[in-house]
Amino acid sequence: MRVIKYVFQPHGDDRGQLIALEEFKDIPFKIKRVYYMYDTAEGVVRGHHAHKKLEQILVCIHGGCKIRLDNGKEKKVVPLEKPYEGLYVANNMWREMFDFSEDAVLLVFASELYDENDYIRDYDEFIEFIKEHPNAD
């Protein structure tokens, strides 16, 4: 499984750092939605689903967390703990987010508006879905 992690270029000067993200330039799709999660309780695992269409970039802009990616054949755990790193998560990828630090803020750029019908929340259904929609690699 190929993990696609973007390293964003900060505009740093003696005042500190600034990162600007533009659609189709830094983010490889049109950004239709942005959401973020914070105050995640200790031991919580979020996610446990895949998507039919939605693509996303995950950035832990404060603190740290881990993302488990599962393409149905292989699983990989990707730590996110730098505000300049973005993890691309394709639609047909089962994901879980865990090990959130107390101060973690996980920011997500999404290619689609929120649509509950786009979620695959049953793992067996996900395995059936990727037979017809295989992952790139």
| Nearest distance in Å: CB 60, ligand T46 | 11
Q: Return the number of the residue (20 or 34) whose C-beta is nearest ligand T46.
A: 34
Q: How far apart are CA 35 and CA 55, in angstroms?
A: 13
Listed in sequence order, the residues at least 6 apart from 108 whose beta carbon sits closer than 8 Å to its beta carbon are: 34, 35, 36, 37, 56, 57, 58, 59
Listed in sequence order, the residues at least 6 apart from 39 whose beta carbon sits closer than 8 Å to its beta carbon are: none
- Residue 11 is a catalytic residue: no
Q: Return the number of the residue (46 or 62) whose C-beta is nearest ligand T46.
A: 46
| Nearest distance in Å: CB 14, ligand T46 | 35
List of residues contacting ligand T46 (CB under 6 A): 33, 35, 37, 46-47, 56, 95, 97, 108, 114
Q: How far apart are CA 130 and CA 68, in angstroms?
A: 17
Q: Return the number of the residue (90 or 127) whose C-beta is nearest ligand T46.
A: 90
Q: Which of 11, 48, 49, 62 is catalytic?
A: 49
Q: Check: CB of residue 125 under 8 Å from CB of residue 105.
A: no
| Nearest distance in Å: CB 93, ligand T46 | 9
- As annotated, the active-site residues are 49
